[in-house]
């Protein structure tokens, strides 16, 4: 622990201010709450969509309405031949709706993940600390030896568990711990208490055992 306490970290308040600024700026800029695991989820969704066959594009409102009518018949059965007249159309509103359907769907959002890696690397380089990407720390090395494969296996397993946990919980430390708690969401507060509390308990237990 003394090793961590004496490490030349940047001021804690600077990190807190940066996270707070991002938590406010992100939804203002994108219209969506900040949540790193959700961004990762949407990146995977984009990859999945790329492998799916590309549906044809619509070029006009009437074309879209025809497709909707066909989908309506498929869902609810044949439409009455002498159906009601359409309500007075607000073409401006429908045009806006069509624009909304064609709006960019957050394809640039995964770049946030790239930025995180770059930011982390820049921060480490700027700190002047010795970089040991495969080391899990002195305590781990003393107990299990400096094995690259073991460290890689532990990191991989930990990543899988974190990934599963965040998807089951519907968010991670950023989504629940920062955004959700800031918004007073009860589920986020409970989630944060849960993963933070069990993390502290587990760290304490490991330190006691080693």
* Closest separation in Å from C-beta 83 to another protein: 5
Could you give the C-alpha distances from 12 to 26, 149, 196, in angstroms and in order?
21, 33, 18
Exactly one of 30, 65, 141, 181 binds another protein (CB under 8 A); which one? 65
Q: Which residue has the tokens 């007249």?
A: 85
* Closest separation in Å from C-beta 123 to another protein: 28
Check binding of 97 to another protein (CB under 8 A).
Answer: yes
Dist CA 68 CA 62 (whole Å): 10
CB 174 within 8 A of CB 34: yes
Check binding of 75 to another protein (CB under 8 A).
Answer: yes
Site string for another protein, 112-141 (x = CB under 8 A): ------------------------------
Could you give the C-alpha distances from 123 to 111, 120, 171, in angstroms and in order?
18, 5, 25
C-alpha 2: how far from its chain's center? 33
Check binding of 82 to another protein (CB under 8 A).
Answer: no
Tokens of 175: 């989504």
**Residues engaged in binding another protein (CB under 8 A):** 32-33, 35, 38, 41-42, 45, 49, 54-58, 63-65, 67-69, 71-72, 74-76, 79, 83-90, 93-94, 96-98, 100-103, 105-106, 170-171, 175
């Amino acid at each position: 622990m003394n090793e961590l306490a004496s490490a030349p970290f940047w001021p804690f308040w600077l990190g807190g201010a940066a996270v707070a600024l991002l938590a406010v700026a992100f939804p203002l800029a994108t219209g969506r709450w900040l949540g790193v695991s959700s961004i990762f989820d949407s990146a995977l969704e984009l990859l999945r969509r790329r492998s799916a066959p590309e549906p044809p594009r619509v070029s006009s409102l009437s074309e879209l309405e025809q497709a909707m009518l066909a989908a309506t018949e498929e869902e609810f059965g044949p439409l009455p031949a002498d159906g009601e007249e359409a309500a007075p159309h607000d073409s401006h509103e429908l045009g806006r709706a069509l624009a909304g359907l064609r709006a960019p769907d957050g394809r640039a959002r995964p770049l946030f993940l790239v930025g995180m890696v770059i930011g982390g690397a820049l921060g480490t380089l700027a700190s002047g600390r010795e970089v040991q990407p495969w080391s899990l720390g002195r305590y781990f090395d003393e107990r299990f030896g400096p094995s690259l494969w073991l460290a890689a296996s532990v990191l991989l397993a930990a990543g899988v568990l974190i990934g599963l946990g965040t998807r089951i919980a519907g968010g991670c430390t950023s989504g629940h711990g920062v955004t959700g708690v800031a918004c007073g969401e009860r589920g986020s507060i409970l989630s944060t208490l849960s993963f933070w509390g069990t993390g502290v308990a587990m760290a304490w237990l490991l330190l006691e055992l080693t």
